[in-house]
Amino acid sequence: MITPPPALLIAGHGTRDEAGAEAFRDFVRELGRRHPELPVAGGFIELSPPPLGDAVTELVERGVRRFAAVPLMLVSAGHAKGDIPAALSREKERHPGISYTYGRPLGPHPALLNVLERRLDEALGTVGRAADDLADVTVLLVGRGSTDPDANAEVYKAARLLWEGRGYAGVETAFVSLAAPDVPSGLDRCVKLGAKRIVVLPYFLFTGILPERVRQQTEDWAAAHPEAEVRSADVIGPEPELLDLVMERYEEAVKGDLRMNCDSCVYRIALPGFEDKVGAPQQPHFHPDDEGHHHDGHHHHGPAHSHAH
């Protein structure tokens, strides 16, 4: 008998915004439609129905015993690191005999950076125009914000990767809650850096209370600074890239192929301006202070870093 593939369980943050919760539920339904061979369900950690436990129960009632859980989150903060694993271990006690693997958060994947770039083009009206037009554009990427420094650092990493090779004057970072700088401070910083045109780009998957707050704070700041040209871009949304990326995370979890930072590795992925590095052979790096280096200059200390997993 062929073992059926593990079910896909999508874990969301939860939001008090009904449109945002419905966007998540729609997304889960669309994934199910695209992958009829796979049982798919999704639930939230807090604030909105259905809770993650209900999604597990629904799948168990359909005969599922093995799961791969993917956090529908851009950044690994308290939810992805603690709440979801805790919820999953509780479900294991509730439903003896189930097993699960746990996938990685989504960002900052090049496919999502491309969607962010598209959102910037839409906000600027520059679709299909030359990159020279972007040399006076400063982007303010606004993340959710967390009490976890590592989560906040991930937003900075996304900002840097968005800036690399795309021709913007700069990509600055701000947060909508729990972390500094907030949106007005981020906009002040852009101006101090000499920004000519600013686009505020929410680093969020779907619409919700927090992205709306970003837009409102941007409008309030712009009203108080009529001399500045400021635009708001849209959230990422349920794009094909996002649907594909969730399946990529599912496949990784199923195969146990949880990598380091290979998503944004210049030797694996064609990042803008660095396309020639893809697949380049890796050589060991010799540090002048390495033990034994002075003998022959070709002393290998272990294998070269391989990108051919």
pLDDT at 302: 41
**H-helix or E-strand spanning residue 218:** helix 209-224
Radius of gyration of the chain (CA): 22
Q: How far apart are CA 243 and CA 22, in angstroms?
A: 16
| Predicted confidence band of residue 307 (pLDDT cuts 50, 70, 90) | very low
Q: How far apart are CA 278 and CA 280, in angstroms?
A: 6
Give the angle subtended at the CA of 110 by the CAs of 82 and 158, to the nearest 5°: 55
Residue 181: CB partners within 8 Å, gap ≥ 6? 173, 174, 175, 189
Pairing between strand 66-71 and 99-102? parallel
pLDDT at 266: 61
Among 197, 184, 273, smallest CA distance to 233 is for 197
Residue 289 has pLDDT above 80, yes or no: no
Residue 237 has pLDDT above 70, yes or no: yes
Give the percent of the chain with pLDDT over 90: 68
Q: Mean pLDDT across the chain, nearest whole number?
A: 87
Note the pLDDT tens digit of each residue in 154-189.
999 999 999 999 999 999 999 999 999 999 999 999
Structure tokens at 78: 């308290």
Lowest mean pLDDT among 23-32, 92-101, 284-293: 284-293
| Predicted confidence band of residue 207 (pLDDT cuts 50, 70, 90) | very high
Can you point out the beta strands (E) in 13-112? 40-44, 66-71, 99-102
Look-up: residue for tokens 């969301």?
12
Mean pLDDT, residues 221-248 taken together: 97
pTM comes to 0.85
Q: How far apart are CA 146 and CA 25, in angstroms?
A: 24
Long-range contacts formed by 52-61: CB under 8 A, 24+ apart: 52/9, 52/11, 52/84, 52/87, 52/88, 52/91, 53/87, 53/90, 53/91, 53/94, 55/9, 55/10, 56/9, 56/91, 56/94, 56/95, 56/98, 57/94, 57/95, 59/7, 59/9, 60/95, 60/98
Residue 290 has pLDDT above 90, yes or no: no
CB 40 within 8 A of CB 7: yes
Terminal CA-to-CA distance of the chain, rounded, Å?
Answer: 30
Q: How far apart are CA 289 and CA 293, in angstroms?
A: 7
Among 134, 137, 248, 140, smallest CA distance to 203 is for 140
Task: Give the number of other CB atoms < 10 A from CB of residue 121.
Answer: 17
Mean pLDDT, residues 94-105 taken together: 92
Q: Which residue has the higher pLDDT, 80 or 266?
A: 80
Lowest mean pLDDT among 79-93, 147-161, 251-265: 251-265
